Amino acid sequence: MSDLFYLLSRYLLFYRTKIITLSFSLALVIAIPLGLSLLSNMLSDHLKTRALSTPLLLGAKGSALDLSISALYFGEQELPVMKYKRVDELRKSNLSEAIPMYRKYRVKSSPIIGTDLDYFDFRSLFFKEGRPFIRIGECVLGSDTAKKLDVKVGDTLISSPESVFDIAGAYPLKMDVVGILAPSLSADDLAVFTDIKTSWIIEGLAHGHEKLEKTPSAILKREGETLIANASVMEYNYITQDNIDGFHFHGNTDAFPINAMILIPKDHKAKTLLMGRYMSDHKSLMLIEPKKVIQRVLERVFDIKDVAMSVLLLLLAATFAISVLVFTLSIRLRKNEIETLKRIGTSKFRVRFLLLSEIITVILISTVLVFISIMITYLFGDSLIYYFL
């Protein structure tokens, strides 16, 4: 029996190139449809979870899909803005809680999300280190952002300018990192959170000056109790306890911009009233249910997936057919080899065993490769989804 296994090992080693090529080919055409199906189901669960936990989204007239992707997953879609006064209007209506969001700027590749403390409670986010922001100029990092930027509580971050040629915009703002969130396996892990007013400061809607009384040379003229400064007055781009009183906003904050608002209705009646207030014919605003928007997207995704799966199944059938053809031709080409084995006393059983072992080896290697690829997809699929969503 040992001589049979020795012959088998030498036989498989001699034809290793063909066996490995066929094994990888079969594994690939089997793993792709299975992996695609698994990833699509994971994507569906990921999108649905975030959308189902968000009752309503309010935004300026535009694309409902863009509003959903931007507000839920912090996508890079440019959203039209609405005025902050809408937040106060909704809060005074007693129909729902309102959580404002403003996403426009970044720290390197991480989006800066201007919001308020209610957002952390709404998303059930916990702090791994530090605390929430309590004043302008402070920020909280998602877990992955903290790792990627290699910062910890007590460090500082500087917002990235929109463009290197943005000479008329705001100065980049240096922010204190006061908290780091625990991993949530969501878009929140990749963001930088600040107070909504901090995001307005980054936009240049507010700034701070050194006190003019301490720098008489900077005073251009006096008009009663009003002091008019010249261009030598330094503008702060770092907010501290010492200079925070020197920051002021230009204009009425009610007119300042936000991208979206998460609404949490008090009850079903309140939700119905809100839907009626912001019907599709509203001239400037739209109210959407994220779960319905995402469901429509998923229906399209699964339609495309079904087409792709059909093509891949045809490819799988073609690969199996080619594999059968390769084995058949291989046996015919090795007719002399088989005759030689028979003449030296090899039984028909052993000859068939050698030929079948090649097929079995290909199937076993393919199965192992498919299993490994599916396990990798299962273990890292969620990470891939929320990184590349």
Please report the pLDDT score of residue 41 as a whole number. 79
Please report the pLDDT score of residue 57 as a whole number. 93
pLDDT by position in tens, the chain (length 389): 566 666 667 767 777 787 788 788 888 878 888 887 788 778 777 778 888 889 999 999 888 889 998 899 888 888 889 999 999 888 888 889 999 999 989 998 899 999 999 999 999 999 999 999 998 889 999 999 999 999 999 999 988 876 554 544 556 888 999 999 999 888 899 999 999 999 998 888 876 655 544 545 444 445 554 434 444 444 557 888 877 777 777 778 888 999 999 999 998 898 888 888 887 667 888 999 998 888 888 777 767 667 777 777 777 777 778 777 777 776 776 677 667 767 776 667 767 777 777 778 888 888 898 899 888 888 877 766 656 55
State the Cα–Cα distance between residues 183 and 196, nearest whole angstrom.
23
State the Cα–Cα distance between residues 54 and 52, nearest whole angstrom.
5
Local structure of residue 225 (DSSP, 8 states): T
**The pair of three-digit structure tokens given for residue 334, joined into one six-digit string:** 């090795």
Q: How many Cβ atoms from other residues are within 10 Å of residue 289's Cβ?
A: 18
Residue 204 — left, alpha, or beta (φ > 0 → left; ψ -120 to 50 → alpha)? left
Please report the pLDDT score of residue 370 as a whole number. 87
Please report the pLDDT score of residue 310 as a whole number. 76
Please report the pLDDT score of residue 212 as a whole number. 44
pTM summary value: 0.72
Residue 310 to residues 33, 306, 314, 342, 377: CA-CA distances in angstroms? Answer: 9, 6, 6, 45, 21
**The pair of three-digit structure tokens given for residue 127, joined into one six-digit string:** 């702090």
Torsion of CA 206, 208, 209, 210, to 10 degrees: 170
Backbone angles phi, psi at 125, to 5 degrees: -90, 135
Please report the pLDDT score of residue 111 as a whole number. 93
Hey, is 88 helix, strand or coil?
Answer: helix
DSSP string, 176-216: EEEEEEPP-SSGGGG-EEEEHHHHHHHHTSEEEB--GGG-G
Nearest-Å Rg of the Cα atoms of the chain is 32
Hey, is 142 helix, strand or coil?
Answer: coil
State the Cα–Cα distance between residues 150 and 127, nearest whole angstrom.
17
State the Cα–Cα distance between residues 186 and 120, nearest whole angstrom.
13
The residue type at 316? L
Please report the pLDDT score of residue 4 as a whole number. 60
Please report the pLDDT score of residue 171 as a whole number. 65
> Shortest CA distance to 261 belongs to which of 143, 155, 115?
115
Backbone angles phi, psi at 220, to 5 degrees: -80, -45
